[in-house]
Amino acid sequence: MRVIIGKAWLGGDGCESVRVTSENGKIAAVERGDFLDQGSDVLRLSGNQTLIPGLHDAHVHLIVGGLQMAQIDFTGAHTVAAIQERISDFMSKRRPDKGQWVQGFGIEQTEVNVTRTEFDLVLPENPFFAWTHDLHSAIVNSQALIAARVDGSTSNPAGGSFERGADGKLNGMARETAAYRIREHIPAPDATECHEAFLRAQRYALSLGITTVSDSVRPDLLQAYLSVADSPDQLVRMNIWRVTSSFDLETDRFEMRESEKFRSKCFKGFSDGALGSRTASFWEPYSDDPKNTGTLLVREGQLARFIRAAHKEGFQIAMHAIGDRANSVVLDAIEMATCNGIGPELRPRIEHCQHLRERDIERFAKLGVIASMQPVHCTADMGFAGARVGAEREARSYAWRSLRDAGAMLAFGSDWPIETMSPIAGIHAAVTRTRADGTPAGGWHAEQCVSIRDALRAYTIGAACAAGWEQRIGRIEPGYHADLCILSGDPFTCAPEKICALSVERTIIGGKTVYERNGA
């Protein structure tokens, strides 16, 4: 369609009646008022349907998620028996050959304690590897340890550990780099598998109203993204970050690339682990593990040198930081590197920013650091976050409102496949700080809730700014790409607790419908 008539969100505190005209894939005109146009190229929104800019997931892992869609999903398996049942069901349906690796994801280690012994009972002849919910630890069976040549005499790698049970023997839990030590023995997916995974994930994203993604890519999957870039198969716009573990520009340098659909100009690094695995780095010990402050993966000086060198050549930096110490270290390094957020390529990002010291909150705006956060992490973690960090630190966790009030730019995403990719679920979490079922009543630390307007901006304008594309996407304005999403209702007039019931009716990229609910 060339013309859309109906209610639209144009960036303010509510929706307006408009006529939006697109030509050659871009928005040509936006007119306010009530219009009567009809014709084959006119789409008139019905009922309470609402037009918004295409949504931008500011932190996602498309191909990883697409690959996992063909693996065992342990989400919601809260007992050892439930986990074993899902494995048995998978084995009976897929019937993998003896010795073939079996993989899974989504084991919630904060709710269920499962070891290699339980896996061995249902997988005696196949090596098995499953990521925990946070993708920072993995649980494996005995065959996997044998295949990876890991035994009781194996030393822990730097930045990781092979856990042992009370009997002193390996229990199958591998933390951080130890998980990758085992994973490297799993045959890598071939080009066809990666391509199919991308297409699966892209279809899912389009069904959720997502028209752009910012995607963290490890080196082993980089070619898979490059092979689809700017091809007819690529519909979503992609801003990808190359993961560095060396923090050495000469070691990890790559060729920058940018087109209307594809951007590759950013390095992604990790400063710590995750809260669920107790590897997020804090200044003070975990409340439920008094001898543990987490795992700090890089120091200020090394990181500052890397940021300075990368920015000098026009590379953007996105740093994973979850614990309060990890966030402090990244902010210190950015300040040492004299990054100030000015210019299209000097937009340092911190991914997650989950736990912050009060003194660090105002530094985001001061240093021009974009707070790239995932509201669904809050609602997923709030059941155990207090036990991990205690009441004082809990009150400064997932501090979207405090960061916004301090002037920081917010960019929202999902971290899929760790959490659901649904931006509607993310907006609901940001506005209510409750689960979809409304718990806890009144919201968890509701003082950190943000408005519908702020949540939408973080999924559109903020995410676009974080990718350096704020002049192309994220707004319904003339000259912007006609990347649009039609919702079943108006999020501004919908009761906050009902936001999660909204659905995506249509997704449009470059003026063309790429997804229609109950349609093509």
pLDDT digits (tens, 9 = 90+) for 310-361: 998 999 999 999 999 999 999 999 999 975 554 445 799 999 999 999 999 9
Checking if the pLDDT of 74 tops 90, the result is yes
Q: What is the mean pLDDT of the chain?
A: 94
d(CA 408, CA 353): 12
Helix or strand (DSSP H, E) at 330: helix 324-336
Checking if the pLDDT of 372 tops 90, the result is yes
d(CA 520, CA 514): 8
Instruction: Tell me the domains of the chain and their CATH numbers.
Output: 3-53+480-516 (2.30.40.10), 63-183 (3.10.310.70)
Checking if the pLDDT of 468 tops 60, the result is yes
SS3 category, 252: helix
Residues in CB range of 514: below 8 A, 6 or more apart = 206, 235, 507, 508
How do residues 1-43 score in pLDDT, each as one tens digit? Answer: 699 999 999 999 999 999 999 999 999 999 999 998 888 899 9
CB 109 within 8 A of CB 132: yes
The mean pLDDT value for 212-222 works out to: 95
> Token pair 């349609």 is at which residue?
519
pLDDT of residue 433: 98
Residues in CB range of 221: below 8 A, 6 or more apart = 63, 64, 194
What's the one-letter identity of residue 453? Answer: R
d(CA 200, CA 62): 9
Checking if the pLDDT of 212 tops 60, the result is yes
Closest CA to 458 of 500, 414, 498, 503: 414
pLDDT of residue 134: 85
Checking if the pLDDT of 101 tops 90, the result is yes
Largest CA distance in the chain: 77
Closest CA to 329 of 307, 314, 309, 313: 307
How do residues 133-170 score in pLDDT, each as one tens digit? Answer: 888 899 999 999 999 999 999 999 998 999 999 899 99
How do residues 390-426 score in pLDDT, each as one tens digit? Answer: 999 999 999 999 999 999 999 999 999 999 999 999 9
